[in-house]
Chain A
Amino acid sequence: MKNSINPQKTPGVGTSFTPGVESLKPRWFGTLRPRWLRTFRYLVRNLVILTLFLLLPTPAHAQTTSLSIWPPLLQATIQPGKAITQVYRLKNLGDDTTITTALKSFTPSDELGHVKLLGSELSPSFFSFQNADIDSFPTTFPLKAGQTQELVLKIKIPANQPEADHYLTLLFESNTTGLIGGTGTTNQATIGSNILLTISNDGQPLKSAKIEEFKVEGSELPVPRTRDDPRRMSRLVPNLSKIGLLDSFSPISFLLRVKNTGTTLFKAIGQIEITNTFKKTVATLPLREDNILAGSIRSLTSEVKEVHTSEVDGISWSPTFPIGLYSATATITPQDSTNTITSTITFLVLPYKALLFIFLIFVLFRLTKRKK
């Protein structure tokens, strides 16, 4: 039956063969061309296309909303009547998106340096973008995947603006279009760069601080109490109840909370110096120079020297088997001032858990022996 097929009676099949070319081929080849060759050519063509797709893949765009901002923090002191500019670099590491900028005031949300966004308190006229193609606040502009946009922010303070601190966050909100098609939620990724602005005539506003709390974290010396005199031991040994009791085998950490009692922010510069029973300095713990905003309290942390993968809040000291009475003196100086403040605490370090364990073993041993 195959030999009876006439290719010329099947339009559209074998159209790439011209009669002249066909005439040069073996007779049997021409008679097999319509179905066999069509299938073969179809398979080869698809295989080539598939191979090309595999060898030359198009760039993949991950399904991500991702923004990167530089710098994450701007700290500036400006005289009334003066202006500064700062370049911000915003990069879209996700899909094509539209960016909306906003400027909001913030207050500290906790004692760790995190922000709680409020409505803007400064006149928007203080702030403007100098880019020719970007309007001032609030402004919206497209940002393609992989694109970086530089924004030049100008901060101009009116001449009659009173001296004060202003804490703001410059927000960049990604508004990638999303369809829900039913019940659901749309969401935006927003990235913020904080601005710590001090308006000052002489550039040297008064800075003052107070140590709100300084203590060793952990158990306190248990004060024996009687029905007649609940603080008897405390009276016998002055300030005994204020002495912290720590175990020699447990980590020693300090809580140091410093309050900014002035009207302008400062960096807290200082350290904790630890002396042993013989008044010899055994350790000096440098503190990270954290910003403390006006009127707020910040829990200071150890200076970080290396990259850590875990939380580093707090101040820790890791001596080798400490034992005895120790004193720790915290010294803090607001940067650009000489108003140094100090606070000293005393704590007792004993291997009391081990001693208690040995005592219990001893008692059990004696009891067991007595029964026998």
Chain B
Amino acid sequence: MKRLLAKLAIISILVTSTQSFFLISPPTLDSANLTSAKDTLSSSRLSYYNALSAGNTVGSTLVQVKTSGMPSDSTANLFTGDSVWIGNSITGTNYTVDDILDTDEFQITSALGSGDTEEDDLVIATRSATHTLTFTTATAIQNGAIRILIPSGANANTDGIPNHDGFDFNGMTASDLTQPTGGGVTSWDTTNAPTATASGGTHCTAGNHCFEARYNGTNTAATALTFVIGGTNKLINPAKSGSTEGSADTYTVTIQHLGSQTDGYPVVDSTTVKIAVVESVRVTATVDPTITFAVTAVGIGTTACGNPVDVASTPTTIPFGTLSLNTFTDLAQTLTISTNADDGYAVTVLENDQLGKDGGTDPLIIDAIGAGAMTDDLQDDWHTNTQNGFAYSLDNDDAASIDFQYSDSSGGSCVTGTFCAKQFPANADPDTAERIFYSGTVADAENAYICYRISIGATQEAGDYENNITYTATATF
């Protein structure tokens, strides 16, 4: 009995000692987490997946979409310039979004075609993204591999159409992957890897798309690696999964460090990262288009069209006053225009008639002919004061385009560059208004001088001569 008790005591001591040894010096754990792991998406925008509501018609650029029952149930997350595909399983067409009108309507740049207007036809805008995975390995493994698992969703996850529960494979191939480099390995396999396998493919269980990079040799433990998924083809981001608009949908990406090929690539280290995809926020503001036109006076002595002004003008009058024979009298006004209309503006001029005595039709101070060729359509030099009459010229400050200037030495019949002038078109003749300056785009206070010049001869009948000139500013249509 004593011997039996002694044997039991010895066995107990041995067992306890062995247990204590293992407690004090536990064996190294085979599996660990990769550290500093993250997946950066080049675009975290959700894809758009909706359907047409009733009432769409062929030839219309107005598209009406559903507001319930679809992953994207409004026009939120659609933007001007987006390419949308509208159609069904038989036919479909790509359109470009021109404007978002409200929560269930948007405008496209070309009309809806036949077969693209039926209720429940899909409205799809895909948003693809490159996934850049960075991580630090935990274990040194010989002839191992890196595998990335990205959620695929349950159904139709390789058809190039966004899903509401995962990323679509979108025809990716090995050429769309950039496998890690370095890491202390002998070489990264470029013959049989990297590989891109759709969910449910060879060695890729359903539920995730699989991307693998394999290497020869042994990696350095705790080495930072980068695996880029996405090249010409990229995974398509999911559409809304049903969560509240404005809140992100999150998906779990798994990064695995696999054991050696001879062991059948077992998972040695593994870690997961969360990625979030969300609608972009549409910021809108409306700026009303306007056009503003001003005529301002020019004072005595101001140089306009190369000459000092002899008499001050007002915004509404050009008072030449008493004229000397065969002497130029010069006046000017400033015309200023601003518009934020895209297509710009044009300013035209038209006189009611030539300067008539007391505003009548006879006698007249005729419109000048300058050196002999001047009309309301054709400019000509006018620097000899015995060539009597009334005409105008232009002096550009910062107008985008001006039809002619006083200093022109070409164009029309002008050659000297001294004072190139034109007759005012007269409504009584009848002429049509003549454009004097313009812009093909928005304009910020663009202005030009309009210069009036008059000279009379000895035979001009005494009296007051008057007429009326109208400047009209219109936006380009």
Interface residues, chain A, CB within 8 Å of chain B? 62-73, 93-95, 109-110, 112-117, 167, 169, 171, 173, 176-194, 196, 204, 269, 288-291, 293, 301, 304, 307-313, 333, 335-338
Chain A CB within 10 A, most for which of B355, B440, B442? B440
Comparing B139-147, B184-192, B242-250, B316-324, the segment that makes contact with chain A is: B316-324
- Interchain residue pairs with CB less than 8 A apart (12): A68-B292, A117-B348, A117-B433, A177-B316, A182-B322, A183-B454, A188-B469, A301-B440, A311-B441, A337-B110, A338-B111, A338-B113
Inter-subunit contact A183/B333 (CB<8 Å): no
Give the complex CA separation of A312 and B111 in angstroms. 28
Hey, which chain B residues are within 8 Å of A116, CB to CB?
A: 432-433
Chain A residues with CB under 8 A of B351:
185
How far is B464's CA from A311's CA once the two chains are assembled, in angstroms? 42
Contacts of A313 in B (CB 8 A): 401, 440
Given contacts A65-B316, A114-B438, A116-B432, could you give 20 more A-B pairs where the C-beta distance is less than 8 Å? A64-B297, A65-B294, A66-B292, A67-B294, A70-B288, A94-B294, A114-B476, A177-B316, A179-B317, A182-B322, A183-B365, A183-B454, A186-B316, A187-B316, A189-B295, A269-B109, A288-B342, A308-B441, A335-B110, A337-B111
Tell whether, in the assembled complex, residue B440 and residue A183 are in contact, meaning their CB atoms are under 8 Å apart: no
B182 close to A (CB within 8 Å) = no
Q: Contact between A186 and B317 (Cβ–Cβ < 8 Å)?
A: yes
> What residues on B are CB-neighbors of A65 within 8 Å?
294-296, 315-316
Q: Are B474 and A72 in contact (CB under 8 A)?
A: yes
Instruction: State how many residues of chain B have any CB contact under 8 Å with chain A.
Output: 68
Q: How distant is B467 from chain A, measured CB to nearest CB, in Å?
A: 6
How many inter-chain contacts with C-beta < 8 Å in the A-B complex?
229
CB-based closest 3 A-B pairs: A72-B475, A66-B294, A178-B316
Which residues of B line the A interface, CB within 8 A?
Answer: 59-61, 109-111, 113, 288-297, 314-323, 333, 336, 339, 341-346, 348, 351, 355, 365, 398, 400-401, 432-433, 435, 438-442, 444, 452, 454, 464-477
Within 8 Å by CB of B319, from A72, A184, A196, lies A184
The reply to whether B440 and A112 form a contact with Cβ atoms under 8 Å apart is yes
A117–B288 CB distance below 8 A: no
Complex: A62 Cα to B296 Cα, angstroms: 8
User: Known: A93-B292, A189-B294, A191-B291. Is A180-B475 also a contact (CB below 8 A)?
Assistant: no
Report the bound CA distance from A171 to B60 in whole Å.
33
CB distance from A150 to the nearest CB of B (A): 13
A190 touches B317 (CB 8 A): no
**Minimum CB distance partner of B317 in chain A:** A178
Give which listed residue, B318, B398, B442, B476, contacts A184 with CB less than 8 A: B318
User: CA separation between A333 and B113, bound complex, in Å?
Assistant: 13
Q: Is the CB of A189 within 8 A of B322?
A: no
Across-interface contacts of A180 in B (CB, < 8 A): 317-319, 464, 466
With A116-B432, A307-B441, A308-B441 already in contact, the answer to whether A171 and B465 are too (CB < 8 A) is: no
